[in-house]
Amino acid sequence: MLQRARLTYQASTSSLAPTLPRTLTISKEEYSISLHKASQLPESVKDRIYNLFHQNMAPLSKESSLEYTESSKREELFDETGRFLILRRGSGTDGHVGVDMPGALPGKESEGRDEGEVLGYVSFRFDTEETLGSRDAEVVYWYVVLCFPLLAFFLWRDLT
C-alpha cells in the first residue's frame, strides 16, 4: 500500500472527519451522521447495515451476475479497512454516537455504540490499484449508498 493510502487507513475517524458526529433536528425529530471504522462497529449495527443492503439489493441481484451470499457480502462490506458514514434517527442519550473523539482513552476509539435506527450509510475504503506504469495509484473505493426510507436521502443532504 502506498504511503498516503497507508496513513489514511491508519488515521482515526476524528482526524478524517473532525466535524462529525453532527446532529440535525427536523420537525422535532433528531438525526445524526457519524463516521466509523468497519472493524469497530458492534454486531447489531453490522446486522442493520447488512439488512438494509439486502432489502435494497436482493431484488436486483436475484438471478443476475450480481448475486451474492450473505457470508461473502458481509466479508466485503465489513473489510477491516472499510469506513462507514452512518445516518441514524436520534442522536444518542449521552451525545456519543460511536466515533473516536480527540483525547479518548486508548483502546476506546470508535466503539460504535448501538444508538438510533440506521437509516442509511456510505461504505468506503482507501486502497491502491495496479497501473500499467511502475507506480500504483491511490484510490478511494466508494461502495454503497443506501437509505431507507427515501426521506433519508434528503436528510443526508442536509447533514453533510
Instruction: Convert the pLDDT of each residue in 37-77 to its tens digit.
Output: 999 999 999 999 999 888 888 888 887 887 888 999 999 89
For position 115, what pLDDT does the model report? Answer: 66
Beta-ladder partners of 124: 83, 142
Helix (H, G, I), strand (E, B) or coil at 125: strand
pTM: 0.71
| Gap between the Cα atoms of 160 and 19, Å rounded | 10
Cα→Cα distances 149→108, 120, 123, 145, Å: 32, 9, 18, 13
pLDDT value of residue 95? 37
Give me the residue spans of the domains in the chain.
3-159
pLDDT at 92: 47
Number of other residues whose CB lies within 10 A of the CB of residue 139: 13
pLDDT along the chain (160 residues), means of 10: 64 83 84 90 93 84 83 92 89 42 37 67 87 85 68 56
Under DSSP, is residue 96 helix (H, G, I), strand (E, B) or coil?
coil
Per-residue confidence (pLDDT) for residue 149, from 0 to 100: 54
Query: Strand pairing partners for 22?
Result: 33
Label residue 71 exposed, middle or buried (CB < 10 Å: 0-12, 13-18, 19+).
exposed
CATH T-level topology, domain 3-159: Aminopeptidase (3.40.630)
Q: So what's the pLDDT on residue 100?
A: 37
